[in-house]
Amino acid sequence: MAWDLDSDRPIYAQIVEKIQMQIVSGYYKPGDKLPSVRELAALACVNPNTMQKAFAELERSGLIKTMRTTGRLVTEDIHMIEGIQKALANQQLQIFFEKMMKLGYEKDQILSLLEQSIREQDS
Amino acid sequence: MTALLEANNLTKTYGNDTVAVDHLTISIGRGRIIGLLGPNGSGKSTFIKLINGLLTPTEGTILINGAAPGVESKKRIAYLPERTYLQSNMKVNQLIDFFGDFYEDFQKDKAYAMLQSMDIKSNTRLRTLSKGTKEKVQLILVMSRNADLYILDEPIAGVDPAARDFILKTIISNYNENATVLLSTHLISDIENILDDVIFIQDGKIKTQTTVENIREDYGKSVDAYFREVFAC
């Protein structure tokens, strides 16, 4: 299946987000070997040079590293992965709060709605 | 290194008053997947035929690896024409032998591996295959060559979405790093994720030559949306 990508944003940035997500969610575990650029490009149905650019960005951030003999590996630095997980969570919270404010809720109301929703999901 | 393809003031007129390609100047490098985009009648197919030496320029020059189209350029270009020229009573394995005899760079093992991965039986006749499968067979024949330039004229017209994905994956996984793929289509949204660059052509002239990521970054919209705006259709 080709990856579902937005049409109005740079593709490499969206690939970076997807791979970050796959690492944070544990689809690729710390120390796992990633597929080659070509394989992943074919899987996602994107241009190999774009995939390369996304990999370069992920390498720059330290989330993946290139080993000369074994290929690209996911970092084993758990703290870094947790850091990215937190950053992604904050992004989602930001979006959530913006939408709730647009609906006319105040911060304390949002909090109580959230607590109520969690209780309902648990029961 | 010389550019893979260089056109200078390239012009092709049909009869006295139809100018299909109009003083077109362009340089195309190696290792790119390029979309050749333009409305119907914009000159895409004429340009492609000039590259392949199927038409001769009325004016101007076109060079492939620094030389005019001819025997040498045909050895280096793998071309998927808009309409098939294959004999429909031939079996798939006969076509593979035919291509193997014809092109030095044809890799039979690669062709058979691709057929197998697409579940196409090699002892069937071309005319018994569905439209989508025929397209796949032709693409396999073209992509099994180890060429410098792959020219695919409307490779995804009239195939279902699954076949389209398969065709795109085949293109991505089979061109070599120094080769360039030139893809002509008007189904832009289907292919824009696999493109490095786009060339917009209109009235036989180059309107824009840029990268997909530039369009997205500069205009915040897809190539498809940008194309509609540029050509106001």
Q: Looking at the 3D structure of chain A, how many domains does it have?
A: 2
Is the domain of A72 the same as that of A84?
Answer: no
Q: In this structure, are A69 and A17 located in the same domain?
A: yes
Phi, psi for residue B232 in degrees, rounded to 5: 40, 60
Query: Do A59 and A34 contact (CB within 8 A), yes or no?
Result: no
Residue A73 has pLDDT above 80, yes or no: yes
The whole-angstrom distance between residue B179's C-alpha and the CA centroid of its chain comes to: 12
Within a domain: A24 = yes
Interface of A with B (CB under 8 A): 1-2, 5, 7-12, 38-39, 41-50
C-alpha–C-alpha distance, residues B164 and B139, integer Å:
11
Chain B: closest CA distance from residue A122 (Å): 40
How much is the average pLDDT of B42-51? 94
Distance (Å, whole) CA B18 – CA B41: 11
Q: pLDDT class for B1, splitting at 50, 70, 90?
A: low
What confidence score (pLDDT) does residue A2 get? 74
What is the β-pairing status of strands B205-211 and B197-202? Answer: antiparallel
* Angstrom distance (rounded) from CA B65 to CA B51: 11
Query: Are B196 and A50 a contacting pair at CB < 8 A?
Result: yes
**Would A1 be classed as within a structural domain?**
no
Q: Go through the domains of chain B in sequence order and give each one's CATH number.
A: 5-230 (3.40.50.300)
B174-202 b/e with 16+ CB inside 10 Å = b?
bbeeebbbbbbbeebebbbbbbbbbbbbb
How far apart CA B31 and CA A12 sit, in angstroms, is 18
Domain membership flag for residue A2: no
| Residue-level pLDDT at A1 | 61
Contact A2 B32 (CB under 8 A): no
Mutation site, B170, B216, B218, B228, interface A, largest A CB count within 10 A: B216
A72 and A90 both lie in a single domain: no
Contact B164, B156 (CB under 8 A): yes
- What is the mean predicted confidence (pLDDT) over B100-124? 93
DSSP classification of residue B26? E
pLDDT confidence of residue B95: 95
Provide the pLDDT confidence category of residue B160 given band limits of 50, 70 and 90: confident
Nearest to B48 by CA among B8, B75, B17, B20: B20
pLDDT score for B25: 95
Are residues A94 and A59 located together in one domain of the fold?
no
What pLDDT, on the 0 to 100 scale, is given for residue B233? 52
Which stretch of A95-99, B56-60, B121-125, B172-176 has the lowest confidence by average pLDDT?
B172-176
Out of B50-54, B155-159, B171-175, B229-233, give the one with best mean pLDDT. Answer: B50-54
How far is Cα A80 from Cα B213, in angstroms, rounded to an integer?
28
Structure-block tokens of residue B122: 């090699």
Nearest 5 degrees, angle CA A117-CA A20-CA A115?
10
Chain A CB within 8 Å of residue B193 CB: yes
Q: Which of B168, B189, B196 sits opposite A45 (nearest CB)?
A: B168
CA of B201 vs chain A CAs: smallest distance (Å): 22
- Residue B189: its pLDDT value, please? 84
For chains A and B, what is the number of CB pairs under 8 angstroms? 60
- CA B187 – CA B195 distance, rounded (Å): 13
Please name the residue of chain B whose CA is at the shortest distance from the CA of residue A1: B165
A3, part of any domain:
no
**pLDDT the model gives residue B175:** 79
Q: Please indicate, yes or no, whether residues A58 and A93 belong to a single structural domain of this protein.
A: no
pLDDT at A28 over 90: yes
Same domain, A92 and A104: yes
- Average pLDDT, integer, range B98-121: 93
Both A35 and A57 in a single domain? yes
Question: Residue A87 belongs to what domain range?
Answer: 79-122
Do the domain assignments include residue A5?
Answer: no
Gap between the Cα atoms of A6 and A15, Å rounded = 11
Is residue A89 a part of any domain in this protein?
yes
pTM for this model (two decimals): 0.85
A65 with A90, same domain?
no
**For an interface test with A, which of B164, B167, B194, B211 has the most A Cβ atoms less than 10 Å from its Cβ?**
B194
One domain for residues A60 and A71 = yes
- Among B36, B29, B22, B24, smallest CA distance to B5 is for B29
Q: Assess whether A19 and A70 both reside in one domain.
A: yes
Instruction: Please list every residue in chain B whose beta carbon sits closer than 8 Å to the beta carbon of residue A16.
Output: none
Q: So what's the ipTM on this one?
A: 0.76
Residue B59: CB atoms within 10 A of its CB come to 13
Rounded to the nearest integer, the mean pLDDT of chain A is 91
Residue A43 lies in a domain: yes
Neighboring chain A residues of B224 at a CB cutoff of 8 Å: 7
Here the CATH number for the domain that contains residue A51 is 1.10.10.10
Q: Any chain A CB within 8 A of the CB of B173?
A: yes
B220 contact residues in A (CB cutoff 8 A): 8-9
Quick one: A40 and A83 in the same domain? no
pLDDT of residue B167: 84
Find the mean pLDDT for residues B65-74: 93
Task: State the average pLDDT over residues B197-206.
Answer: 93
Q: Are residues A110 and A55 in the same domain?
A: no
The answer to whether residue A102 is domain-embedded is yes
